[in-house]
Structure 1
């Protein structure tokens, strides 16, 4: 099975100067756990955990903080819609992430999540979760 068969599309995006309050509102409205940050191309990704961690560490309100304050911008792992789901699961395990932007050339075409992978490869999800738990025990 290929990533394009299980990914969410279109990817929900937000600009880096948007407030974290706006990001949370979008996540709630779209019922998603992350947003791809674009300016105009992809510059990062921001997740619920990123937002919580940043707000807790700074003590500032979500209206005072910007998406760029919380997003992951370096080494964001990407996959292609023609990659196999197993390859996406391997990338998640190797890079200790739950979400991968999907690019076709330079175009953002979707997002694939651990939940998407779980529907196809439930055995792989346990492996990814174990890896992520080790990461969290080591300080995020």
Structure 2
């Protein structure tokens, strides 16, 4: 997972999010309640593009009018297989990771793609150890 997650509040404008995406080369941001730190939504590049395509005034439209909610999250104690299943079952590409309700990271399909070669090596090593090789 990526541990440094950029977060915003519901009052952030679409334009501010677009700038955040460009400055940090990211494709999503998690919306949190400033008072509690509770994850309340997620905004992606696609969400911003839909606003642009719809002719929205991105300088003034706030993310609370188009963010995705409720957010599917996963506890940090879960394994990678469970996370991949959650992403597949919910057809999502970004999965915020929480620890006792606090945001600690985000898992993306890109993270999973980078993990696959390591997972393959682990599976092959375990298979070889079981077969006595």
- TM-score normalized by structure 1? 0.76
Structure 1 segments of 4+ aligned residues over 3 angstroms from their partners = none
CA distance in 1 between counterparts of 2:15 and 2:80 reads 33
| Secondary structure of 1:25's aligned partner | helix
Q: Which residue of 2 aligns with 1:116?
A: 111
Note if 1:17 corresponds to 2:24: no
Displacement, 1:62? 1.3
Q: Contact 2:51–2:58 (CA<8 Å) still a contact in 1? A: no
Aligned counterpart in structure 1 of residue 24 of structure 2, from 19, 30, 33: 30
Measured on the aligned residues, the alpha-carbon RMSD in Å equals: 1.3
Note if 1:85 corresponds to 2:80: yes
Structure with the greater alpha carbon radius of gyration: 2
CA distance in 2 between counterparts of 1:115 and 1:103 reads 19
Displacement, 1:47? 0.4
- TM-score normalized by structure 2? 0.80
Q: Contact 1:79–1:103 (CA<8 Å) still a contact in 2? A: yes
CA distance in 1 between counterparts of 2:61 and 2:31 reads 15
> Any unmatched runs of 5+ in structure 1?
1-6, 123-140
Displacement, 1:13? 0.1
| Secondary structure of 1:11's aligned partner | coil
